[in-house]
Amino acid sequence: MSAIKMEDDKLTLEYNLADLPSAQHKAGLAGLLVMIESLKRRKKSPLPETRVSQASAEITFTKEALRLLSDDLYDSQWIEIDSKQKWTNKKPKRIEEIEIDVDGKTKKEKRFIYDDVKPKGAFLQVYYPDGDGLWIKLWRDMLWNILRGIPTTRNVYNERADNKPSSETDKIWNSFAKSFKAKQKGTRLTSPLSSSLFIGAEADNPEKIPFVGPVEDNFLLNFWTIVSLIHVPWEIKIERKEDQIWVNQSSEMGYVLSIPEPNHLEYFCEDVIDVLRSLDTAKSAYRPRSARIDIFEESGLECLYYFTRRRIDDAGGFSTNLHTIEMYHMQKKGNRTRQLAASRIHPDVNMIKEYAQVRDSMKNPFFKKMYLPALISGEAWHDHADMLFYNAPAPIFVHSAKTPKKTPFFGKDVRNKFVAIDKNLEIRKGGDSMNEKDHDDQLARRIFRLIRNYVFRKAEEKSGKRYEEFKNNKNEKGYVKYPPEYRETLEKVCMDAFLAMRGRREQDFIEYFTGTICSVPQFLPEEEYIEVAKDLMEEWRKIKNLSMLAISANSYVSTSSTQKEE
């Protein structure tokens, strides 16, 4: 349980990680310590006194030190904002006309100019590698859209923009004084939790459940955003235009907040500072490129990656000062902020190592949608491929003239996965006795080879072009130049097989696989062929998923110089 002491003009708060009620509180304690370190680095005073250990922290304030902390936390400034639309219930400062280019023609548009408050966030700027750049803009945008989306919750920032001391200082100090008196009487003082501080809190809710907490614990909720990572998921929309399929990812879908829960307070604070200082400053439009994500789960894995990437050793072990990562997907709609999803990830060395291996090579959003949730849950990477295939057009997965042009191809990510499986099996060859994952990987490799042999032989047969005839026809970079007839036939063979498998189940699929895929000469060793036959009878769904994935991986060959000969 947290403790509070007041003596003369000093206030001391004592916290134990194990006693704090949520990850947001624990992250808040770390955020408070990181903020105090930020004040120290900027040579601000008077500073609170801190004593930190693995599982606890003791922080002593004077009222002047608390005022410094509060003023810095809410420090803001007035800036001018130009808007295409008028703001509700607010008169513009002025109206301007600007010239814009529309299809090569100059057009004038009105802009409504308003004064608005912008939080400074100097305590984060001291750590961010780009200072007052895109990362601090992302933090401000999240703050104004999610935690402080209601204008009345921004009053304390308005005070600081007007160069007034934060009124929160007196409120917090007085509440601590009351809490100390209550403690002396054997009771504990609580206060309501606000959704601007605690995600999920509702003062007024249908169940009439009060959201309250001890005032000294509630104080920590001002600081958890300092140690959390913010990501922006993009909406994935499939559109059809002029017989062409497009994947539109032009709309942001709110923000995902990844809140780390520390298990070693002292070292965790050091890790946070390293993480913030190492954030990638490359940009994509007006966001940090690495803050853009395709699916919700990616945020937690990115957070784990940043916190553990320096802690995985050559022997495969790792250490972390994290207990979990909590993720919240929040989006503002009108005047309401909605929680779209929430989840938690526990650090696991195999999961972290596998994500680190595929992180930079994964480009397709649909592959991530299949792969990353399975990685987090510990399921096989292909377990839910069929659900993906049922809910999107086939050209998303099998290369054809209709395949989206501006989206990295799904099959390329799948091919990379099959190649990685093959390499890992070679590395593990001759090692310990085969486990379940080894069996799954060996099955994946066998299915890939069976499918590859089938589609290549059928493409040769139907196009009249044999691979042996053109395999040595390469460009200056060493890439095979595939004849157009061969390439187009290969795509059709793959599409036909993909659609035939997608609509089949159980015995119907088994008969198709044995009667079609195995209709061409295959060169698997007999014992491997028997293993595939056994798995086909016992786990037809797994064979189906792997087969359709293998078709996707083999459906594309280069038009000129985009793919090396296998």
The rounded distance, in Å, linking the Cα atoms of 452 and 469 is 18
Residue 509, classified by CB atoms within 10 Å of its CB into exposed (0-12), middle (13-18) or buried (19+), is buried
Q: Would residue 253 count as lying in a domain?
A: no
The first and second tokens of residue 159, run together, are 């005070």
DSSP state of 145: I
Say if 143 falls within a structural domain.
no
301 with 229: CB under 8 angstroms? Answer: no
Task: Say how far apart CA 204 and CA 16 lie, in whole Å.
Answer: 30
Question: Among 491, 83, 128, which Cα is nearest to 290's?
Answer: 128
Residues 433 and 523 placed together within one structural domain of the fold: yes
**What's the CA angle centered on 222, arms 217 and 223, to 5 degrees?**
100
Query: By the 8 A CB rule, do 550 and 451 touch?
Result: yes
Domain termination residue (choose one: 226, 253, 288)? 226
- Give the tens place of pLDDT for each residue, 506-521: 999 999 999 999 888 8
| pLDDT given at position 104 | 76
Helical H runs in 234-296? 265-277
pLDDT digits (tens, 9 = 90+) for 470-508: 888 887 777 788 889 999 999 999 999 999 999 999 999
Asked if residue 191 and residue 96 are part of one domain, the reply reads no
What pLDDT, on the 0 to 100 scale, is given for residue 446?
Answer: 93
User: How many beta carbons lie within 10 A of that of residue 235, not counting itself?
Assistant: 12
Into how many domains does the chain fold?
3
Q: pLDDT tens across 119-157, in order?
A: 999 999 999 999 999 999 999 999 999 999 988 999 999
CA dist., res. 15 & res. 22, Å (int): 13
Q: Output the pLDDT for position 163.
A: 95
A 10 A CB-CB count for 209 gives: 8
Domain boundary, last residue among 171, 197, 226:
226
Residue with the two structure tokens 């005047």: 335
Distance (Å, whole) CA 85 – CA 83: 5
213-265 pLDDT per residue, tens? 999 999 999 999 999 999 999 999 999 887 889 998 888 999 999 999 999 99
Which sign does the torsion angle of CA 84, 332, 254, 133 carry? positive
Residues 380 and 495 grouped into a single domain: yes
Same domain for 396 and 545, yes or no, is yes
Q: Are 408 and 439 members of one domain?
A: yes
Tell whether 338 is covered by a domain.
no
In a domain, 255, yes or no: no
Domain boundary among 207, 226, 245: 226
Identify residue 45 by its one-letter amino acid code: S
Which of 57, 31, 35, 29 minimizes the C-alpha distance to 47? 35
Task: Check whether residue 70 and residue 105 sit in a common domain.
Answer: no
Same domain flag for 17 and 91: no
Stronger pLDDT, 563 or 424, i.e. the higher one: 424
The answer for residues whose C-beta is within 8 angstroms of residue 474's C-beta and 6 or more apart is 480, 481, 565
Provide the total of helices (H) and of strands (E) in the chain, helices listed first: 19, 18
Question: Is the same domain home to 394 and 456?
Answer: yes
Give me the pLDDT at residue 249, please. Answer: 86
Q: Are residues 106 and 157 in the same domain?
A: no
Residues 63 and 160 in one domain: yes
Domain interval for residue 60: 3-75+149-226
In this structure, the answer to whether residues 505 and 445 fall within a common structural domain is yes
Question: 168 φ, ψ to 5°?
Answer: -65, -25
> Which two structure tokens, joined as six digits, stand for 275?
């993480």
Give the SS3 label for residue 361.
coil
Which two structure tokens, joined as six digits, stand for 401? 């003239």
Instruction: Report which residue type is found at 155.
Output: N
Based on the domain organization, do 70 and 82 belong to the same domain? no
Q: What is the rounded CA–CA span in Å between residue 184 and residue 548?
A: 69
pLDDT average, residue stretch 525-546: 90
